Amino acid sequence: MKLSASQLLISLGLCGIATRATPTARSSTERSSTSWTTENGTKCTKFSLVVPVNATNLILEGPRVDSSFDAVTYAWDGDTWSSANATERIKGTISVNTAFNIAAQLCIPSSGGKSDILQIATHGNSFDKRYWDAEVEPENYNYIRAATNAGYSIFTYDRLSVGGSDKPDAYDIVQAPVELEILRGVTEMARSGDISRLAARQIDTVLPDFTKFVHVGHSYGSILTSGLLAKYPDLTDGSILTGFIINPHGPQYQLGVRGYQLASEAFPEEFGHLGSGYICPGAKYNLHNSFFGGGDFDPKILDYGWKIKQPSTVGEGRSAIALLGLTAHNYTKPLQFFLAEFDAPVCNGDCKEAYNLTQIRETIYPNNPVVEVHIQPKTAHGFTLHRNATGGYEEMFRFFGRNGL
């Protein structure tokens, strides 16, 4: 299968070799550790993890973004990449061997027979972990609430460069290979019990003994999760990739639509501390185009999405090629691609005919008996913020359930 890798990495908003390291956990120093009980009785706690990473990033050719003027150049440069020359922009590799502080959250349901199954959810670009944890009408939009109502425990975290996590160099450090190793690290911490031991000191409930671990990704978070399935298949018992599928007919001109600006210049009160290469949509309706366009949504939820916006980095976008197209011959656990019907970044606004599932099965997951696609109607790329979100959540839980998860 010949993949349009550069088209896909551009469309997902942007627009390694690693050795084992042992992560550790500690209470957050950036903000006081917080535990609380939600309206549905779920117990949640926030904390910080120290995750060592040993990864091989890419040295990538392309313009720097030191101003919002440069961000336009970056967008045009990215939108005119072709799959033929994307790999030619790789000029070498760089080793990253350091530890990062990662802001995390664990939520445990008040009851339910699946509390021993831990969902590990990785958000995409333009948001942090609040993408899964909407504060507006949580009964209609909050994925964590829906998951715990269904009996699951759930772990979410701020990816490197956003929210309460570290914000290192936007070109050479915040790249897909490093972020994959962070996902690997937090997964290993969950499987070893380190996360439970930390949370038990902060949360007023008896934690279950987690016996199964499933992964849910969105957009760039799904790219990272797909990399986990390919490189570390034994770390997961099942996965749902939302807002992502290998699409040989990837959309064009996605970076220009996003209206990127230098984050510190466009929003100095929020992001004035960030350096070169940290970019974000410059206006609310840029976010509208990318995450809501074509979907059925309440305008006040667009306002909420804009309120919780987060930057992304130039390095993330250019380095996604390191993970796209990896084969997952040894991944044999259940996998669902969960697509929004009107997802513009993934399939030009119509996902019903935008993929070849047979080809994906044969070339990427040839030994996997369960690889499915679900199309969620009336939703766009940021599907958790649409009126039909809860219907999508129910379908995700049905997929896990019929596969013993």
Any idea what the CATH number is for the domain that residue 279 is in? 3.40.50.1820
Residue pLDDT, tens place only, 104-158:
999 999 887 899 999 999 999 999 999 999 999 999 999 999 999 999 999 999 9
Residue pLDDT, tens place only, 357-373:
999 999 999 999 999 99
Q: Identify the domain containing residue 158 by its residue range.
A: 5-402
Res. 22: pLDDT tops 50: no
Confidence of residue 24 (pLDDT cuts 50, 70, 90): low
Pairwise pLDDT comparison (346 vs 182), residue with the higher score: 182
Contacts of 381 (CB under 8 A, 6+ apart): 219, 243, 290, 291, 292, 340, 343, 344, 345, 346
Q: Measure the CA–CA gap between 209 and 217, rounded to whole angstroms.
A: 23
Residue pLDDT, tens place only, 147-205:
999 999 999 999 999 999 999 999 999 999 999 999 999 999 999 999 999 998 888 78
Provide the mean pLDDT of the chain. 88
Nearest to 46 by CA among 100, 116, 110, 102: 102
Pairing status of strand 212-218 against strand 117-122: parallel
pTM exceeds 0.85, yes or no: yes
Cβ atoms 278, 311 nearer than 8 A: yes
Question: How many other CB atoms are found less than 10 A from the CB of residue 269?
Answer: 5
Q: Measure the CA–CA gap between 19 and 303, rounded to whole angstroms.
A: 42
Residue pLDDT, tens place only, 292-345:
999 999 999 999 999 999 999 999 988 998 998 799 999 999 999 999 999 988
Q: Measure the CA–CA gap between 373 and 246, rounded to whole angstroms.
A: 12
Q: Measure the CA–CA gap between 210 and 213, rounded to whole angstroms.
A: 7
Sign of CA dihedral 155, 161, 162, 166: positive
Res. 31: pLDDT tops 70: no
| pLDDT at residue number 256 | 60
Q: Measure the CA–CA gap between 87 and 175, rounded to whole angstroms.
A: 15
Residue 238 falls in which region: left (phi positive, over 0), alpha (psi -120 to 50) or beta = left
Q: Measure the CA–CA gap between 379 and 103, rounded to whole angstroms.
A: 29
Element (H, E) at 117: strand 117-122
| pLDDT at residue number 348 | 85
Cβ atoms 213, 237 nearer than 8 A: yes
Q: Measure the CA–CA gap between 353 and 33, rounded to whole angstroms.
A: 46
Number of domains in the chain: 1
Confidence of residue 34 (pLDDT cuts 50, 70, 90): confident
| CA triple 231-131-79, angle to 5 deg | 70
Res. 1: pLDDT tops 60: no
| pLDDT at residue number 81 | 63
Cβ atoms 131, 91 nearer than 8 A: no
CA dist 92 to 175, 182, 239, 349, 373, Å? 14, 22, 32, 35, 36
Q: Measure the CA–CA gap between 186 and 102, rounded to whole angstroms.
A: 9
Nearest to 103 by CA among 166, 152, 60: 166
| pLDDT at residue number 3 | 40
